[in-house]
Structure 1
Amino acid sequence: MKRFILDAFLILIVVSIGSTLNQQQPESTIQQRIDEFNRQIEQEEVIEPPVHRASMYQIQENAAGQLGANISEMVIRVVDGSVRMIASAFGQ
C-alpha cells in the first residue's frame, strides 16, 4: 500500500512537471516581448570603440625581454656577417 501511494505521488509530480513545461505562451505575448526588447535596444546608447591602427598595440618589454631581443639581434648580425665572409672567401 505504501508503494502504491509513493508511485501515485511520483506520477502526480511527473504529470504536473510535464503540464507546466507543456504550457505554451500565446503568440501575442511572445511578440509583445520581442517588441519590448527592440524598444529597449533602441533606447540604449550605442558606444563605439575608439578606432586604432589595424596592427597590434605596441608592447613595452621589461628589461629581461629587451636584453633577450638585443642578444638575438646581435647573434643574427654575427651569423649573417660570418656567412657573408665565408661566401666571399669561396667566390660566391
Structure 2
Amino acid sequence: MTIEWMAFITVFVAALVSAAVVVSLYSLGIRFLAIPARPVRGADGSVAPNGPSRDDENDDVDAVGRPQWATVAANICFVLSACCVLVGIFLIVPGLHFW
C-alpha cells in the first residue's frame, strides 16, 4: 500500500485554507459589531462623550450607536461564514449528494 502524498497535501492545504477563511470571516463580523458610534463634536470643536461610561458589572454592548453599515457588514460576514460551513458539511456527508 502506498500513500498518495500529493492528494494528502491537497487535502491538508484545503482544510487549512478553509478553516482560516471561516475563522477570519467570523472574527471580522465580530469586529464589525464592536465598532462604536462616532463621537459628537460640540460647536467649539470639543468632543463630548456619547453615553455613560462603561462599567465592569454592566458591560453590555448597545446597538443604538453602531453605524448601520457596520451591522450590515457583520451580518454579511456571518452569513458567508455559515455558507462556508454548510458547503463543507455538504462535501463531507455523502448522504447529501443527490447525483
- Decide: shared fold, TM above 0.5: no
Q: Larger Cα Rg: Structure 1 or Structure 2?
A: 1
Structure showing the higher helix proportion among its residues: 1
Structure showing the higher strand proportion among its residues: 2
Q: TM-score per shorter chain, which class?
A: 0.3 to 0.5
* Higher RCO, 1 vs 2 (CA within 8 Å, ≥6 residues apart): 2
Structure 1 length-normalised TM: 0.35
